[in-house]
Structure 1
Amino acid sequence: MPQISLIISTYNWPEALKLCLLSVKQQTQLPVEVLIADDGSGPDTKSLIEVMRVDFPVPLVHIWHKDLGFRKSIIVNKAIKEASGDYIVQIDGDVILEKHFIKDHNHVAEKDVFVRGTRAHIHQDRLPELYRTTQIDFCFLSKGIINRFNAIRFPLLSFLFEKKKRNSNSVRGSNLAFWKSDYVLVNGYDNDLQGWGHEDEELAARFINTGKLKKGIKLRAVQFHLSHKEASRSNEGKHAEAVRNTLKNKLKTCINGYAQS
């Protein structure tokens, strides 16, 4: 059984992070620790983490750096450096986890494989109510759910949708899992990819180039994303080109990554 470290990336949305952390607390199988990769949030996020740390069931570690723009790759690299587990489950701080999320990732973990999960969405109109009630229990029939199929947990049939592929398409850091040793091998996220877009696919491309397989899963590891306005995509084209370059040249590592963070 892997020792799972849960990495949660966040930026200036403590209301969402609170719901996310409450959903971690209710997990039927807990990670060994939770590390918050904070891309420069203000004091409200720090205060929230300090309050929740008091009775959190596992160590809750806050890794922060100064806000100099979208630098998620760098802060996630720093957080994973601090991780003591041998297996990393990575999510964003704007998701609510179904209570078997960590257990499901434990079940599908496999050597020489990284795991790509999916997510349902909660309509933005529901957010004020969720902040007020701190509701964290949802299912595919819940009010305001988008992509309802992704909200279904049915482990007995999940094998029908479990597919291993040698490609990096559609990989998202919101529901991603991998062995820490594999991450170190490829030197983690590319720190030069700053701004929104494709940094997860570029990392996955290097996993593929080192002989790892992508395992796509459904009906397990369910999460509910709090819908929000999209970030600026001004660097998307540059990042997409970086993915193509990594695949074309079969790059297995990056020059400025985990080791340089």
Structure 2
Amino acid sequence: MAAKCSLVISTYNWPQALKLCLDSVLRQSVLPAEVIIADDGSGEDTKKLIHLYQSASPVRIVHVWHADKGFRKSVILNKAIQQTSSDYIIQVDGDVILNRHFIADHLIAREHGAFVRGTRAMLSQQKTAGLLANGDGAAGLSALSAGVQHRFNGLRLALLSGLVVRKKMSSNSVRGSNLAYWKADFVNINGYNNALQGWGHEDEELAARLINLGIIKKIVKLRAVQFHLYHDEGHRQTADNHRAEIERIKEHKIIACENGYLQAADYE
């Protein structure tokens, strides 16, 4: 069964991780209507992998790619979301493994006037290496699995999840790795800010403008579970500048960025 939502997966030059992610997508109890892969300039190995999954997938998989000109995640996400056909977007990174009810849980959590921020359990370096080496074996991941860190975030207790839902008018701790929103809200704020190039906080900046629009952050736990593969942290030279932009957005109550969703097609 496929649901009327679009799953957007961001990736960059890690096809082994993307394979595990896509495998977990195809195991979903409720499939998304489509999968849009936002590829920030990966090489041929990623293209070949995606082509294999396009041939075998029961739902549409679209590969949205642009040339590698540095970290331009905001731009490629805007381009990918331009290709979506659903009114609800679920967004993850290509280095996570989804619990088999991840999509179903997000659909239960969706609510007009809100965007959803989920959490993630972390996998140790050793556990990650084992999963990547085997190319499978991730189907049985749970909070109790060896090598799982932040175990509470790996718990799925659907009957209790409603008791721990929180709502805040705050953009703090929002990550695109586990995020969902109505496409109309995304378009109303002109999507991601293309000017935020380089690592860091593009999701919090997006969330700050959603908050300014009056869209509340809905924090979901014990549902929409995912497991994040270990990797070294990227370069963070741009993080301070991006944080400063978030503070400007908050101070001036800015809703729509000037260079975003509508301008993404101008970037090669």
TM range (shorter): over 0.9
Query: Paired residue for 2:22?
Result: 21
CA contact (8 A) 2:3 2:30 kept: no
Q: CA deviation at 1:2?
A: 7.1
Matched-pair contact (CA < 8 Å) for 1:205–1:247: yes
Contact 1:2 1:87 in 2 (8 A): no
Please state whether the residue corresponding to 1:15 is helix, strand or coil: helix
Inter-partner Cα distance in structure 2 for 1:95 and 1:143: 17
- 1:140 is matched with 143
2:220 alignment partner, one of 204, 217, 220: 217
More moved, 159-168 vs 171-180: 159-168
The runs of 5 or more residues in structure 2 that have no matched partner are: none
1:11-64 alpha-carbon deviations (Å, 9 max, x no partner): 000000000000000000000000000000000000000111111120011000
TM-aligned CA deviation for residue 8 of structure 1: 0.2
Residues 128-177 of structure 1, C-alpha deviations (whole Å, 9 max, x = no match): 32123212220011010010000000011111210111111100000000
Contact 1:2 1:86 in 2 (8 A): no
SS across alignment from 1:209: helix
Which has the larger displacement, 137-146 or 14-23? 137-146
1:191 is matched with which residue?
194
TM-score under structure 2 length normalisation = 0.96
Q: How many residues align?
A: 261
Shift of 1:124: 1.4
Structure 2: distance between partners of 1:29 and 1:42:
31
Structure 2 residue aligned with 1:207: 210
Deviations 1:58-88 (A, max 9, x none): 0011000000000000000000000001000
Q: Is the CA contact 2:3–2:33 (under 8 Å) kept in the aligned structure 1?
A: no
Cα RMSD (Å) of the superposition? Answer: 1.0
After superposing on structure 2, the runs of 4+ consecutive aligned residues of structure 1 that deviate more than 3 Å are none
Q: Quick one: structure 1 residues 21 and 152, their matched pair in 2 at CA, closer, same or farther if it must change by over 3 Å? A: same
Aligned match of 2:119: 118
**Equivalence for 2:129:** 128
- Name the SS for the 2:56 alignment partner: coil
TM-score by length of 1: 0.98
CA separation in 2, counterparts of 1:19 and 1:57? Answer: 17
